Structure 1
Amino acid sequence: LNPSDSIYDWVMENVRQMGAGWCPPGILGIGIGGNPEKSMLLAKESLMDHVDIHELKKRGAKNAVEELRLRLYEDINKIGIGAQGLGGLTTVLDVKILDYPCHAASKPVAMIPNCAATRHIHFELDGNGAAKFEKPDLDIWPDLEIPMDSVKRVNIEDLTKENLSQFKSGDTLLLSGKILTARDAAHKKIVEYKEAGKALPNNLELKDRFIYYVGPVDPVKGEVVGPAGPTTSTRMDKFTKDMMEIGILGMIGKAERKQPTIDLIKEYKSTYLIATGGAAYLISQSIKDAKVVAFEEMGMEAIYEFEVKDMPVTVAVDSEGVSIHTTGPQKWNSI
């Protein structure tokens, strides 16, 4: 930034632009000063500190950095982005800032949005053996039950373009059946094969299939698959028209889609579902079988076929183009 520019304004603008792609609620790490590399290092280092915004709120700010932390924390949460971008009170859990001297003619600033799934523990080794950690008491978390009368169990094999219209933005679904996976590299390959008029390896057909944006972790100790959480869907936006022309039924990912992609979903009477970002291990428990079906050489970026049982998802964009990432925050902010 220029020396006279407002760090507060810059952070607020970028948080609005990030939307839900970083799996809020989370922690913002901000580094100020040094040079660009130093500011990025400061931002990363700040995220390793304790979550203490509640303590700071209680005692009050003692310097300009703490004042900025509190102001950003309060005002970002007023935007109403909320968990997974669906609207709500909490978008950030804490705002961490570290600063460093820099040349008077510059103001390097870096910001790292940190998903709440990133956890760390602090300990000291004193030479008397391995560190010991006490497991948290699970009773401090409430037992939550979802009323099943609001959930729709869906057999993927029964779905067609014609009956996708029964699902509306905001519906909770439990998917069972077979889906395919594809991330950035796989999408790029698919489009290359499409443009060359070539069949996919093993004569894989994408028509009328659901594509899950995921790169699963390798399984261990008898697992069917390792953690398999959704990746940010906007990176696949540029491939959506090609995928629609191929004839896919729908997509599963996380976070919002850009308006041109929403328009394509409506045009092709498709749908976009979201799984919960940050819940990769829990989602993997609904995957009962996993096998590579194309591009094995790409490792986790290969195309897998998953057989899922009661995989929890939410309809984010329905076949009419209604996006919960638009209606959710609007509804919240109108309360």
Structure 2
Amino acid sequence: MSAPITEEDFIGSVADALQFISVYHPADYVAHLTRAYEREESPAARNAIAQILVNSRMAALGRRPMCQDTGTVNAFVSVGMGARFATGRPVDEMIDEAVARAYTDPDNPLRASIVADPLFARKNTGTNAPAVTHVRMVAGDKVKVSVAAKGGGSENKARFAALNPSASLVDWVLKTVEGLGAGWCPPGLLGLGIGGTAEKAMLLAKESLMAPIDMTALLARGPNDKIEELRIELYEKINALGIGAQGLGGLTTVLDVKIGTHPVHAASKPVGLIPQCAADRHVSFTLDGTGRATFTPPPIEIWPEIALGGESAGRRVDLDRLTREEVATWRAGDTLLLSGRLLTGRDAAHKRLDAMIAAGEPLPVDLAGRAIYYVGPVDPVRDEVVGPAGPTTSTRMDPFTDRLLDATGLLVMIGKAERGKETVDSIRRHGAAYLIAVGGAAYLVAKAIKSARILAFEDLGMEAIREFVVEDMPVTVAVDTTGTSIHETGPREWRRPVIGRARDAAPVV
């Protein structure tokens, strides 16, 4: 019989794991993303992947979060029937304490994103707890824990369908992925759960994302069964859609496709689909009563040496002297380097501004001729002026954009992913522009921020309106004043047919 697992060993191990995954990509993700970078032919997508890889290496060296959205904690705990805990506390309660400990660590604070009331007050808990915890009893006398930190952008793109048994899974997946847009920050992974019941299918999809990434090896050796055949077919056909990194158009949208299955009622075929963004964060460990888990960082040599200077260079823009005439010269796909004063604001701030405009109240900030960045940064530590500060998904601001442009004279918006058709039309009508920063490059972006101060709505925490002073912050014009959107033109240019069955295709290395 194994020794009892102490409360401190369990809580400390989970807290250490959450700190670890905030900083380090799994080595298999880095390897597959590096291969995607090496084979990418789209200049915009290649530059985006380069930024993600450089950001990943910088986060590892700086021991700071790779992404500003440090996620909802998902914990899967398999308790052996013979395992013993030296505590009477419930497992989920101990997980929540570990989350609070990890996310408020003064050496590397992580962003608290969880709101306690999902319907009304939506007040931030301040600790990122509670987690979403799943416990199962298994054979053995050990406890295995798998933790993941799932970002809101990719989690919001989760989909479920109750397909007829005769319906084509491949057709549904392709149609669904094409409709997801880029808000889930590709290139990443796609998890599929098939069978069981509705909740089981979604759970299978989520758990599948923590399996090792092995698509390169699978393509090289060929499939051994029908599930592997299906994985390859979906991998090839999804990438053939041409969505590409950040939705800019390119060869790689997914690095791997994972599939979990469960027996199902004869009348049913439930399917869960959950994408995993470029911040692929998860780790597993086992406790046997001999002490807390240890985590070894991957060697820095796994990251490629990439110099961004030549690829990310673009037209320099002075935000303090920005004019409508200058914005009109930008074209979708242009790379810009922004310097000067930059406002921030996202969901909660936009909702307040919209309500104030509707009520005829004066706004706390003047938006005329300004640029606003959709971001909720991590708190700074030591000599930082701000923590990792990558963009959030811009479509959540779409309901407020037309009124804001019309009432304030706002000129430029910066975020990630595409905008809706009505918002693109509004941007065109108002002679404004929408720019994107690379999702998954939060630590890199933060290095371009030279000062930060809160201007309004301090009670909103990470969603408060701030003013950054930035220097050479790299962005891409996503929607220009003519209404041309790179998220439409890019994938259309790079979409390609799949030749023959995917399992017969030459390995991609």
Relative to the length of structure 1, the TM-score reads 0.93
**Match of 2:324, SS?**
coil
Residue in 2 aligned with 1:165?
A: 328
1:280-332 C-alpha deviation (Å, 9 max, x unpaired): 11111111111221111111121111111111101111112121122222333
Using the alignment, how far apart are the partners of 1:17 and 1:48 within structure 2? Answer: 24
Change in 2 beyond 3 A, CA 1:163/1:129:
closer
What's the offset of the Cα at 1:211? 1.2
> Is the Cα–Cα contact under 8 Å of residues 241 and 494 in structure 2 kept in the other structure?
no
Q: Matches of residues 38-77 of structure 1 in structure 2 within 5 Å?
A: 38-77=200-239
Structure 1 position 280 matched with structure 2 position 442? yes
Deviation at 1:178, TM superposition (A): 1.1
Structure 1 equivalent of residue 182 of structure 2:
20
Secondary structure (helix, strand or coil) at the match of 2:471 reads strand
- Which deviates further from its counterpart, 174-183 or 139-148? 139-148
Displacement of 1:131:
2.5
Mapped to 2, the partners of 1:140 and 1:44 lie a distance apart of 27
Match of 1:192 among 352, 355, 360: 355
Alpha-carbon contact 1:124-1:131 (below 8 Å) kept: no
Q: Post-superposition shift, 1:124?
A: 5.5
CA gap 1:269/1:54 in 2 versus in 1, 3 angstroms: same
1:248 corresponding residue in structure 2: 410
Letter in 2 for 1:156: L
Distance between the aligned counterparts of 2:350 and 2:312, measured in 1? Answer: 37
**What percent of counterpart residues are identical?**
57
Instruction: Provide closer, same or farther for how the CA distance between residues 283 and 32 of structure 1 changes in structure 2, counting only shifts above 3 A.
Output: same
Q: Partner of 1:267 in structure 2?
A: 429
- Which of residues 213, 216, 219 is equivalent to 2:374? 213
Q: Deviations over 1:208-239 (max 9, x none)?
A: 21111111122223321111111111121121
Pick the aligned partner of 2:397 from 199, 220, 236: 236
SS of structure 2 residue aligned to 1:144: coil
Is 2:320 the counterpart of 1:154? Answer: no
CA distance in 2, matches of 1:225, 1:41: 35
Mapped contact 2:242–2:493 kept (Cα < 8 A): no
* Separation of aligned partners in 1, 2:311 and 2:237: 36
Can you list the C-alpha shifts for 1:163-211, whole angstroms capped at 9, x where unaligned? 21122211111111111111111111111000000112xx321222111
Distance apart, 1:129 and its partner CA: 7.1
Partner SS, residue 246 of structure 2? helix
Q: Secondary structure at the match of 2:257?
A: strand
Amino acid at match of 1:88: G
Counterpart Cα distance in 2 of 1:121 and 1:136: 16
Superposed displacement of residue 94, structure 1: 0.3
Deviations 1:64-112 (A, max 9, x none): 2222111100111111111111111101000001011122222221111
CA RMSD across the alignment: 2.1
Q: 1:144 to 1:150 in 2, by over 3 A?
A: closer
What do the CA deviations read for 1:15-70 (whole angstroms, capped 9, x no partner)? 10012121111100111122211111111110111001122222322332222111
TM-score by length of 2: 0.62
Q: How does 1:83-122 map to 2 (within 5 A)?
A: 83-121=245-283
Q: 1:53 to 1:289 in 2, by over 3 A?
A: same
SS of equivalent residue, structure 1 residue 251? strand
Distance 1:60 1:289 in 2: 52
Task: Determine the structure 1 residue equivalent to 2:385.
Answer: 224
CA 1:157/1:140 → structure 2, altered by over 3 Å: closer, same or farther? Answer: closer
The letter for the 1-side match of 2:355 is: E
Which segments of 5 or more consecutive residues in structure 2 lack a partner in the other structure? 1-162, 498-509
CA contact (8 A) 1:125 1:131 kept: no
Q: 1:333 to 1:14 in 2, by over 3 A?
A: closer
Look up the equivalent residue of 1:136 and give its one-letter code.
P
Bigger CA drift: 56-65 or 259-268? 56-65
Report how far residue 137 of structure 1 moved.
3.5
Q: Secondary structure at the match of 1:39?
A: helix
- The question of whether the paired residues in 2 share the 8 Å contact of 1:22 and 1:115 is answered with yes
Residue type of the alignment partner of 1:218? D
| 5+ residue gaps, structure 1 | none
In the superposition, relative to structure 1, how do residues 76 and 139 fare at CA in structure 2: closer, same or farther (>3 Å)? closer
Q: Quote the Cα distance in structure 1 between the aligned partners of 2:295 and 2:347.
A: 40
User: How far apart, in 2, do the equivalents of 1:210 and 1:143 lie?
Assistant: 30
Question: 2-side partners of 1:146 and 1:218: how far apart?
Answer: 28
Alignment pair present for 1:331 and 2:481 = no
Q: Which residue of 2 aligns with 1:318?
A: 480
Distance 1:119 1:303, change over 3 A: same
Partner of 2:403, secondary structure, is helix
For these two proteins, the number of residue pairs brought into alignment is 333
